[in-house]
Amino acid sequence: MPQPLTSLNPPAGAMLALHDVRKTFNAGTVNEVRALRGVNLSLPAGAFLVILGGNGSGKSTLLNAVAGAFRVDEGRIHIAGQDVTRWPEHARARLVGRVFQNPFTGTAPTMSIAENLALAARRGLRRGLGWALPGRLKAELRDQVSQLAMGLEDRLDNAIGSLSGGQRQALTLLMANWLKPELLLLDEHTAALDPKSADQVIRLTSQLITRHRLTTLMVTHSMQQAVNLGDRIVMMHQGSVACQFEGADKQRLGVPDLLARFEELRRRDMLDETAATLLHDTYI
């Protein structure tokens, strides 16, 4: 099992490193939520980490912290050896590709498939006044889209908003990977899809990550996906890393094993609540 970071410097070869990351929402109010409670995590280049957890466990908050959706209260975040802790989300975009849960997030629905992909291809570059797509780029777009095996290479002029959720999510995944980001973030990117489309997008996800050796952080609620994908699983609970599985332990892992671990965490919470109630009744 990887050891927690012991200094503010990321481990050698780490593509992603988090040191004692903490985040509290609505601090000091009755609605206070300690979403991240000292998370330490490192991910080497080319690794594929899957994050599991129940509602409120901190898994999505962790992904948003890495993406820069908000500033963490404490701790440091390094991506590709750079301290990005205070970088805003748009500044991290040149290092990070992201696919959201909603297939309609991250694209311009009234623009064509080709125009959306062209924007992804020019991410981080200065924008000129012209908008015409060069012939060479059009050929590249067609070639890349044909690899999705969805027949969309013949529909590049169609508005992306006219596509099904599965088709749009496949294109969004292609857009996120176009410039080969240092880190790919997948935010429950099949949760809103029907089972057939979800399976299709998961196969595409695995192919792209393997082909380009992308360092990947994927949040999912699907235990089957967690078992089948990636080389490491982290289970979040109450804002902390509760347990991890990798190597031979990950390979032997099955859905029943994960269910048993979730049940163990639930039972522990129930015991903690019972103990707190007993203490309250004893001293009040």
pLDDT tens digits for range 203-260: 999 999 998 899 999 999 899 999 999 999 999 999 999 999 999 999 999 999 999 9
Give a yes or no: residue 93 inside a domain.
no
Give a yes or no: residue 235 inside a domain.
no
pLDDT class for 129, splitting at 50, 70, 90? very low
**Mean pLDDT over all residues of the chain?**
87
Tally of domains within the chain: 1
- Bridge-based pairing of strands 240-246 and 232-237 is antiparallel
Give the integer Cα–Cα distance in Å for 236 and 259: 14
Give a yes or no: residue 139 inside a domain.
yes
Q: H helices of the chain, where? A: 59-67, 89-92, 113-121, 135-146, 165-177, 195-212, 223-228, 247-252, 255-283
Give a yes or no: residue 138 inside a domain.
yes
pLDDT tens digits for range 78-102: 999 999 999 999 999 889 999 998 8
Give a yes or no: residue 263 inside a domain.
no
Q: What is the pTM of this model?
A: 0.86
pLDDT greater than 90 at residue 5: no
Cβ of 60: how many Cβ atoms within 10 Å? 19
Query: Is the CA virtual torsion 67, 79, 169, 46 positive or negative?
Result: negative
pLDDT tens digits for range 20-35: 999 999 999 999 999 9
Give a yes or no: residue 97 inside a domain.
no
Give a yes or no: residue 176 inside a domain.
yes
Give a yes or no: residue 150 inside a domain.
yes
**Domain housing 137:** 107-180
Q: How far is CA 105 from CA 192, 255, 267, in A?
A: 12, 30, 37
Q: Kindly state the average pLDDT of the residues 103-131.
A: 74
Chain centre to alpha carbon of residue 125: 24
